[in-house]
Amino acid sequence: MTTPKKNASNASSKEKMATLGLISDFDFALHLPLRYEDETRLYKVNEVYPGQVVQLEGVVENIHVNFGHRKQLTATFKDDTGKIALRWIHYYPSQKAQLEKAGLIRIRGEIRGSSMWGYEIIHPKVSKAGQSLPQTLTPVYPSTDGLTQITLRKAITEALTRVKVHDSLPESIQQKYHLPSLSESIHTLHHPRVDMDTQALMDKTHPAWERVKFDELLAQQIALHLAREARVQLQAPQMVLQDTHLFDQVLAAFGLSLTKAQQRVLTEIQVDLQRSYPMHRLLQGDVGSGKTIVAALTAALVIQAGYQVAIMAPTEILAEQHFIKMQKWFAQTDIEVVWLSGSLKVKEKRETIQKIVSGQARLVVGTQALIQKGVVFQRLGLMIVDEQHRFGVIQRLSLSKKGETQTHDSIPHQLSMSATPIPRTLAMSYLADLDVSVIDELPPGRQAIMTKLMVDERRDDLLKHLRIECQQGKQAYWVCPLVEESEALQLQTAVDTYQYLQTALPDLRIGLVHGRLSPVEKAQVMQDFVQHHIDILVATTVIEVGVDIPNASIMVIEHAERFGLAQLHQLRGRVGRGQAASICILLYQNPLSQQAKLRLKALHETNDGFEIAKRDLEQRGPGEFLGLRQSGEQMLRFADIEVDTDVLENAREAAAIMLKEYPQAAEAHMKRWIKGREDYLRS
Ligand code: ADP
Ligand code: MG
What does the pLDDT read at residue 628?
47
Measured between alpha carbons, how far is 94 from 417 in angstroms, rounded to an integer? 64
What does the pLDDT read at residue 678?
43
List the residue whose alpha carbon is closest to atom 14 of ligand 1. Answer: 548
Q: Give me ligand 2 centre to Cα 543, in Å.
A: 11
What does the pLDDT read at residue 547?
63
List the residue whose alpha carbon is closest to atom 20 of ligand 1. Answer: 290
Query: What three-state secondary structure class fits 436?
Result: strand
Residues 6 or more apart whose CB falls under 8 angstroms from that of 562 comprise: 481, 482, 484
Q: Give me ligand 1 centre to Cα 436, in Å.
A: 19
User: For the chain, what is the radius of gyration of the CA atoms?
Assistant: 30
Of 275, 312, 330, 289, the closest CA to residue 415 belongs to: 312
Would you say the CATH fold of 245-439 matches that of 41-128? no
List the residue whose alpha carbon is closest to atom 7 of ligand 1. Answer: 546
Mean pLDDT by 10 residues, the chain (683 residues): 42 83 89 87 92 92 86 93 92 89 92 84 91 87 85 94 92 96 95 87 93 93 84 89 94 94 97 94 86 96 96 81 90 94 88 93 92 86 79 49 55 86 72 82 84 94 95 94 67 88 96 82 85 93 66 93 86 83 93 88 88 80 57 63 86 94 94 61 39
List the residue whose alpha carbon is closest to atom 5 of ligand 1. Answer: 290
Q: Tell me the pairing of strands 363-366 and 380-386.
A: unpaired
CATH 1.20.1250.20 assigned to domain 41-128? The reply is: no
What does the pLDDT read at residue 618?
78
Q: What is the dihedral of CA 302, 303, 309, 313, to 10 degrees?
A: 90
Bridge partners, 77 (sequence order): 60, 84
Topology of the domain covering 449-606: Rossmann fold (3.40.50)
Contact in structure between 137 and 38 (CB atoms under 8 Å): yes
Which amino acid, residue 273?
Answer: L
Q: Give me ligand 1 centre to Cα 131, in Å.
A: 70
Q: What angle do CA 376, 382, 388 make, to 5 degrees?
A: 95
* Local structure of residue 458 (DSSP, 8 states): G
Task: Please tell me if the CB atom of residue 291 comes closer than 6 angstroms to any atom of ligand 1.
Answer: yes
Residue 278: is the preceding peptide bond cis (ω within 30°)? Answer: no
Contact in structure between 369 and 375 (CB atoms under 8 Å): yes
Contact in structure between 490 and 502 (CB atoms under 8 Å): no
Task: Please tell me if the CB atom of residue 445 comes closer than 6 angstroms to any atom of ligand 1.
Answer: no
Ligand 1 atom with the smallest distance to the CA of 545 is 4
Task: Please tell me if the CB atom of residue 419 comes closer than 6 angstroms to any atom of ligand 1.
Answer: yes
Total residues found in the chain within this entry: 683
Residues 6 or more apart whose CB falls under 8 angstroms from that of 488 comprise: none
Task: Evaluate the CA torsion angle 668, 671, 674, 678 in order and state its sign.
Answer: positive
375 burial via Cβ count (<10 Å: 0-12, 13-18, 19+)? buried
Q: What angle do CA 367, 370, 374 make, to 5 degrees?
A: 145
Helices (H), 42-112: 94-100
Contact in structure between 596 and 481 (CB atoms under 8 Å): no
Q: Give backbone dihedrals phi and psi of 199, rounded to 5 degrees, phi first.
A: -60, -45
pLDDT, one tens digit per residue, over 300-320 is 999 999 999 999 987 776 788
Pocket test for ligand 1, best of 250, 256, 388 (most atoms within 8 A of CB): 256
Bridge partners, 309 (sequence order): 363, 382
Of 130, 125, 129, the closest CA to residue 59 belongs to: 129
Residue extents of the structural domains in the chain: 2-36+137-203, 41-128, 245-439, 449-606
Ligand 1 atom with the smallest distance to the CA of 254 is 16
Task: Please tell me if the CB atom of residue 262 comes closer than 6 angstroms to any atom of ligand 1.
Answer: yes
Ligand 1 atom with the smallest distance to the CA of 439 is 3
Of 477, 441, 501, 485, the closest CA to residue 570 belongs to: 477
CB contact burial 160-184 (16+ within 10 A = b; e otherwise): beebebebbbbeebbeebebbebbe
Contact in structure between 635 and 393 (CB atoms under 8 Å): no
What does the pLDDT read at residue 675?
63
Instruction: Read off the pTM.
Output: 0.68
Q: What is the CATH number of domain 245-439?
A: 3.40.50.300
Ligand 1 atom with the smallest distance to the CA of 325 is 7
Task: Please tell me if the CB atom of residue 546 comes closer than 6 angstroms to any atom of ligand 1.
Answer: yes
Q: How far is CA 132 from the centre of its chain?
A: 46
* Local structure of residue 532 (DSSP, 8 states): T
Pocket test for ligand 1, best of 292, 384, 386, 547 (most atoms within 8 A of CB): 292
pLDDT, one tens digit per residue, over 331-356 is 999 999 999 988 888 899 999 999 99
Task: Please tell me if the CB atom of residue 550 comes closer than 6 angstroms to any atom of ligand 1.
Answer: no
Contact in structure between 85 and 123 (CB atoms under 8 Å): no
Between the alpha carbon of residue 372 and those of residues 338, 369, 538, the distances in Å are 16, 5, 35
Task: Please tell me if the CB atom of residue 289 comes closer than 6 angstroms to any atom of ligand 1.
Answer: yes
Three-state secondary structure string covering 277-291: CCCEEEEEECCCCCH
Q: Give backbone dihedrals phi and psi of 581, rounded to 5 degrees, phi first.
A: -65, 135
* Local structure of residue 163 (DSSP, 8 states): -
List the residue whose alpha carbon is closest to atom 4 of ligand 1. Answer: 288
Query: What three-state secondary structure class fits 382?
Result: strand
Residue 591: is the preceding peptide bond cis (ω within 30°)? Answer: yes
